[in-house]
Structure 1
Amino acid sequence: MMPLQDALFRPVRAGNAFEETVERLMQAIRLGVVPPGERLPAERELATRLGVSRVTLREAIRSLQDAGYVESRRGRYGGTFVNDPLPATRPGRLVEAPELLDALTLRAVLEAGAAESAAGRALGPAERRDLRARLAECSGASLDEYRRKDSRLHLAIAEATGSASLTAALADVRMRVNELLDRIPLLPPNLAHSNDQHDLVVDRILGGDPDGARRAMAEHLAGTASLLRGFLS
């Protein structure tokens, strides 16, 4: 295997295995390490190199297949091949790497801090009901409404801090992030994983665990960041 492939297909972290696997595959495709028309490494080899289960790898490949980046071929010379041509970039201006990093860094600081702060407050009954309601709405959202319900849950967490300034700042950064998220496909395995992570974040907030809430939110945001880097950078 080429040295550059060695660098890209290195073990991912366990917390966001699906999202980081998608990121690594998209990096290999977008950087031309595996060019259009060429075959990805064999499934067993790729799963071993990435340190993920074959189930996780298949979910990632299926998601990229649904998004039009790869296709699976059967037979003696089969495997997973990068599509030629690749899908056209979704409408919108070019996202430069520094801009993406800036938005993701600001989001990580604000949202992890908001989760920590909310968990450290003595929330009233109405605030607790609102968090649970927003969580349920997001978990049950359709693909068409998921982004909106997801945003509302994250803003509810900011509101639970009791800081109007923090809520306003988080709303601003959320607008920036949503513009980026609208440029990438919705991947059902990622949404299911995000819902599980949302459950944990809200559980830590309602349980009064500031450190746990910060860690849970940070891991959740890291998964989204992996997808954005994979598709946009």
Structure 2
Amino acid sequence: MDWQAGAIFRPIRSGNAFEETVERILAAVKLGVFGYGDRLPAERELAARLGISRETLREALRSLQAAGCVEPRRGRYGGTFVTYRPPAPDLGELRRAVRDMGGELEDALTYRLVLETGAAEQAARRTLSEEQRDYLADRLAALEAADPDDYRRLDSRFHLAIAELTGSPSLAAGVAQSRMRLNDLLNAIPFLERNIEHSAHQHRAMVDAILSGDVSGARRATEEHLEGTAALLRGFLG
């Protein structure tokens, strides 16, 4: 299973196994860990990861199928495949949502800044394996090659990859949860060519700092990037 999926598909501890299973699968899809047409992990593996029965997992998948988010396919290459496509953002509706959030938006932006700058620092401190270094480089390459329709999904995967490389499942889960709080708003930011070019330089600086063990550089590049994103959110949705 993808490292990023491990940040979301962690054991469920509450008595609401069905509801939390639905939530976790939707989070993985909305965060871009699994995109349209991707196959979810096998039932046996996913149930074990979540610490639930296969019957509970099947109930959750049936409900998501009824909602049009996944579909089962039979045969040698069968399994459960993602059919969810994010709706086109309605800026008017999102502005109303931001007003309803009140101070929660600034709280979410501050929380994200603290978590992700800390994650970049910790990733830079670690001695990463060649596999981990290649994984981060691959996530960056995929993002740099993304077309506008897939950019936000791959941007999410890039940021989650850094959190995964910290070696802290709790921190990785926190970054994923933080991203979910802002996901619809981030997806509503228009695809601005100048901003994408600027972000590409910032993403590259983040990766270069992490891979070279430059702790302060990793923090500085990440902070600059997140502050730029926050400025766009405030501009378009404030």
TM-score by length of 2: 0.59
Q: 5+ unaligned residues in a row in structure 1: which ranges?
A: 1-87
CA displacement at 1:183 relative to structure 2: 2.8
Find out whether 1:189 has 2:194 as its counterpart: yes
CA deviations on 1:15-50 (whole Å, 9 max, x unpaired) are xxxxxxxxxxxxxxxxxxxxxxxxxxxxxxxxxxxx
Aligned mates of 1:198, 1:105 — CA distance in 2:
19
Aligned mates of 2:114, 2:142 — CA distance in 1:
25
CA deviations on 1:48-90 (whole Å, 9 max, x unpaired) are xxxxxxxxxxxxxxxxxxxxxxxxxxxxxxxxxxxxxxxx834
Name 1:89's counterpart in structure 2: 91
Find 1:148's aligned residue among 129, 150, 153: 153
Tell me, what secondary structure is at the counterpart of 2:97? coil
Aligned mates of 2:146, 2:196 — CA distance in 1:
10
Aligned mates of 2:134, 2:212 — CA distance in 1:
14
Aligned partners of 1:117 and 1:161 also within 8 Å: yes
Tell me, what secondary structure is at the counterpart of 1:145? helix
Q: Which has the higher helix share?
A: 2
Q: 5+ unaligned residues in a row in structure 2: which ranges?
A: 1-89
Aligned partners of 2:91 and 2:237 also within 8 Å: no
Q: Quick check: which has more Rg, 1 or 2?
A: 1
CA deviations on 1:192-229 (whole Å, 9 max, x unpaired) are 11011000000000000111100110000010011011
Aligned mates of 1:206, 1:133 — CA distance in 2:
13
Runs of 4+ in 1 over 6 A off after TM superposition: none
Q: Count residues with an aligned counterpart.
A: 146
Give the residue type in structure 2 aligned to 1:165.
S
% identical equivalent positions: 57
Name 1:124's counterpart in structure 2: 129
Name 1:68's counterpart in structure 2: none
CA displacement at 1:100 relative to structure 2: 1.3
CA deviations on 1:111-167 (whole Å, 9 max, x unpaired) are 000000000000011100000000000011000000010000100000110000000
Report which structure shows greater RCO (CA 8 Å, sep ≥6). Answer: 1
Find 1:219's aligned residue among 218, 221, 224: 224
Output the aligned Cα RMSD: 1.3
Name 2:61's counterpart in structure 1: none
